[in-house]
Amino acid sequence: MTKQADLVIVGNGMAANRLLQDLARQPVKPTSILVIGEEPRRAYNRVLLSPLLSGEMQPVDVELQDARWYREQGIELICADPVEQVDLEHQVLKTRAGVQVHYRQLVFATGSRSNMPPLPGIDLKGVMGFRTWEDVERMQTRAAEGGRAVVVGGGLLGLEAAEGLRKLGMHTTVLQRGDRLLNLQLDNTASVLLQQELEGRGLHILTGARIESIEGCEGRVTAVMLQNGKRLPADLVVVAIGVTPEVRLAREAGLNCNRAIEVDTHMHTSHSGVYALGECCEFERNTYGLVAPIWRQAEVLAGVLCGQDRTYAEEPVATQLKVSGIALFSCGEIDAQDTQPLEYLDLQHGEYRKLWLRNGALVGAVLYGDTRFGPWYFEQLRAKTDLGALRGELLFGPTPTQQVA
Ligand SMILES: Cc1cc2nc3c(=O)[nH]c(=O)nc-3n(C[C@H](O)[C@H](O)[C@H](O)COP(=O)(O)OP(=O)(O)OC[C@H]3O[C@@H](n4cnc5c(N)ncnc54)[C@H](O)[C@@H]3O)c2cc1C
């Protein structure tokens, strides 16, 4: 089958979907849009896969636009059929099912894949990443049989997977290589508070834990072996140790790729008429793992695809962490050097705040428990506001006058 489209988007994840929404608001849009996704369903909110896993949310909460929206927007969608080949010179691509598509403009939005380390036993049945709706379904099916889960990685994704599996009734252990949880986002005190809370709920957490191998029987996982000789029986192993941008297709097509597909300020790749955004792109050596910068990329690219002169620039990103009912906020430099920190700890109410100031300006913040003022701190950090005069009350958020302002 042969098709033709003014704009083709490869990938139907969160970046592609945001781009479509932004394009829908443009006064003059590409004349025809075709989206080709490898997953078997329409776009969904990947961020909500954790509450979907634990049962706190239902499929309907996680789905994004319905089929009617695509129809109304005149967007054609192909699901469950990955693009396997792109011929940049002749502006044509081919999907696995053999659909040939001629395009005028092309966007790569192929996202990332879960990192799977080359460990003995990594290919055993029951060893998996946590990235897609299918991953959630596989975990839920396994959890329905009970048993033991080992989650490799004490970062955001690992903790969410672990909490989900624990809530589904699995005896769950988290293996963290470093000496504390969420070491990229939290300082030591916040990490300790988080660990105590999670352990109190029944999660088992091993820090300084390094995997030696994964054991199996008849092709199915049975245990995880640690370098210190400890053996952890396991019916399910979820690996959450980061992601790798999905750039195979772009690289094979001949686009300049480093860690990901290189783009300029217009989200333009090394080939004319070809763009990239989201976790598959790299801008000024940065790659992405949170939606905030991707939303700004989508807005810029929607304008560019419609002929506007829009440019993308890097901005600081705040992390609103959601570990199953525990509110955490973090932004800027954590444990920053040459600073004058401010700290508040209320163990009884499980509240902790730490702010790092350099020459009167906020350069980093960690909030645990009450995160209401996170966005305000982040605004002060971005604006480099001189907060020296407010030092005395800064830990308690903006003063009433500032709140009104
Ligand atoms: C469980 C979970 C929780 C998260 N929580 C947060 C959070 O709280 N806050 C936050 O900011 N971020 C969060 N993230 C990260 C966020 O989901 C990603 O940053 C975002 O999804 C990236 O969007 P993307 O479109 O670049 O990639 P994706 O959403 O992964 O979409 C890429 C799509 O491209 C498809 N694809 C790949 N190759 C091809 C091909 N050849 N042909 C066709 N299709 C292809 C893939 O199948 C996929 O559907 C979370 C991620 C996960 C997995």
**Which of 251, 281, 254, 244 is CA-nearest to residue 266?**
281
Whether 404 has a pLDDT exceeding 60, the answer reads no
- What crossing angle do the helices spanning 133-143 and 156-167 adopt, rounded to 10°? 40
- Whole-angstrom CA distances from 329 to 157, 205, 316 are 15, 21, 14
Q: Supply 141's token pair.
A: 């099916």
Q: What is the CA radius of gyration of the chain?
A: 23
Name which residue sits closest to atom 35 of ligand 1, judged by CA. 11
Q: Which of 45, 101, 279 to mutate to test the pocket of ligand 1 (most atoms within 8 A of CB)?
A: 279
Whether 53 has a pLDDT exceeding 80, the answer reads yes
C-alpha 13 to ligand 1 mean position (Å)? 5
pLDDT digits (tens, 9 = 90+) for 27-51: 988 999 999 999 999 999 999 999 9
The whole-angstrom separation of Cα 39 and Cα 16 is 13
The structural domains of the chain, ordered by start, are 2-113+243-305 (3.50.50.60), 127-239 (3.50.50.60), 325-404 (3.30.390.30)
What pLDDT does 190 receive? 96
The whole-angstrom separation of Cα 60 and Cα 62 is 5
pLDDT digits (tens, 9 = 90+) for 308-328: 999 999 988 888 777 777 899
What is the percentage of the chain residues whose pLDDT exceeds 90? 90
Average pLDDT over residues 52-72: 94
Helix (H, G, I), strand (E, B) or coil at 283: strand
Whether 118 has a pLDDT exceeding 60, the answer reads yes
289 lines ligand 1 (CB under 6 A): yes
50 lines ligand 1 (CB under 6 A): yes
Length of the chain in residues, anyone? 405
Lowest-confidence segment of 109-113, 268-272, 386-390 by average pLDDT: 386-390
C-alpha 69 to ligand 1 mean position (Å)? 21
What pLDDT does 317 receive? 85
Name which residue sits closest to atom 21 of ligand 1, judged by CA. 14
Measured from the CA of 43, which atom of ligand 1 is nearest? 49
pLDDT digits (tens, 9 = 90+) for 233-267: 999 999 999 999 999 999 999 999 999 999 999 99
If pLDDT is split at 50, 70 and 90, which confidence band does 402 have? low
If pLDDT is split at 50, 70 and 90, which confidence band does 405 have? very low
Please state, rounded to an integer, the average pLDDT across all residues of the chain.
Answer: 94
